[in-house]
Amino acid sequence: MSEAPHEAPIKTPAQLIAAIIAGFAVPVIIIILLAYYVNNSTRTGAGTDSLTDAAVGERIAPIAQVAIRDANAPRVYKTGQQVYQAVCSACHAAGVAGAPKFSNTGDWAPRIAQGFATLWHTALTGTGAMPARGGTSPDDYSDYEIGLAVAYMADNSGGKFGDPPVPAAAGAAAASGAAAASGAAPASDAAAASGVAAASGAAPASGAAAGG
């Protein structure tokens, strides 16, 4: 029984070159694929951060938060510019929805002619497209701070109102704290009411005048 002669798989120089290239290329490709696999296996998918301790703690935290404040501490009011930038500039900076544009004397002249008290009242109660208090609440900004914003806008648009007087309640609280520190008795409610009336430009009415 005769055996068939064994033939070499590489017969031409081209086949030899192809075999050499394949011998180098195949291991390189395998190494690249392995590196890509390892790199992807260590990546975290979208939303993985939601399982961290900090994220879980934030989700299970109570909705209500208790803010402890010193009731005797004097209130620090925002400036007119700060209130304007936070609340009013959204409409008044560009004159949106018929709002008088900031620093435009033509827009503000007829409104300034109405007087500061009218402008202040309008800002507190709202008019046209403008909601009351610019969409804020008394917890956000006090009436006085709204008045500061009105004065800031008007005075930068041709008016000469100046800032409204600081509420007498704040002044009375400061005086009361000073009196307590010195051992003196705080001012009475009647005196505080008189101060509020003076700050608004009106004298407190007496009982006799009310009866007349």
**Model-wide pTM > 0.85:** no
Rounded CA gap, 131 and 124, in Å?
Answer: 9
The pair phi, psi for residue 161, each rounded to 5°, is -75, -45
Which pLDDT score is estimated for 110? 96
The answer to whether residue 116 is domain-embedded is yes
**What is the C-alpha to C-alpha distance for residues 64 and 147, in angstroms, rounded to an integer?**
31
Task: State residue 186's pLDDT score.
Answer: 39
Neighbour-count burial of 132, counting CB atoms closer than 10 A to its CB (0-12 exposed, 13-18 middle, 19+ buried): middle
Indicate whether 142 belongs to any domain. yes
Residue type, 50: S
User: Are the C-beta atoms of residues 161 and 116 closer than 8 Å to each other?
Assistant: yes
pLDDT value of residue 201 = 42
135: left (phi over 0), alpha (psi -120 to 50) or beta: left
In a domain, 139, yes or no: yes
pLDDT by 10s per residue, the chain, length 212: 455 566 667 778 888 888 899 888 999 999 999 998 888 766 655 555 666 788 888 888 888 777 777 778 788 899 999 999 999 999 999 999 899 999 999 999 999 999 999 999 999 999 999 999 999 999 999 999 999 999 999 999 999 999 999 987 655 544 444 444 444 433 434 333 344 333 444 333 333 333 33
Name residue, tokens 């409104």. Answer: 111
| CATH number of residue 140's parent domain | 1.10.760.10
In this prediction, residue 38 carries a pLDDT of 83
**Is 57 within a domain?**
no
> Virtual CA dihedral for 144, 148, 153, 158, nearest 10 degrees?
110
Query: Where in the sequence is the domain holding 135, given as residue range(s)?
Result: 80-156
* Alpha carbon separation from 36 to 25, 41, 96, 165, 182 (Å, rounded): 16, 9, 55, 70, 77
Q: Quick check: is 209 in a domain?
A: no
Count up the domains in the chain and report the number.
1
Specify if 42 maps to a domain.
no
Residue 98 domain-assigned (yes or no): yes
Q: What share of the chain is helix, strand, coil (3-state, %, to 5)?
A: 60, 0, 40
Confidence (pLDDT) at 2: 53
Has residue 123 been placed in a domain? yes
Q: Tell me the C-alpha distance between 87 and 135, whole Å.
A: 8
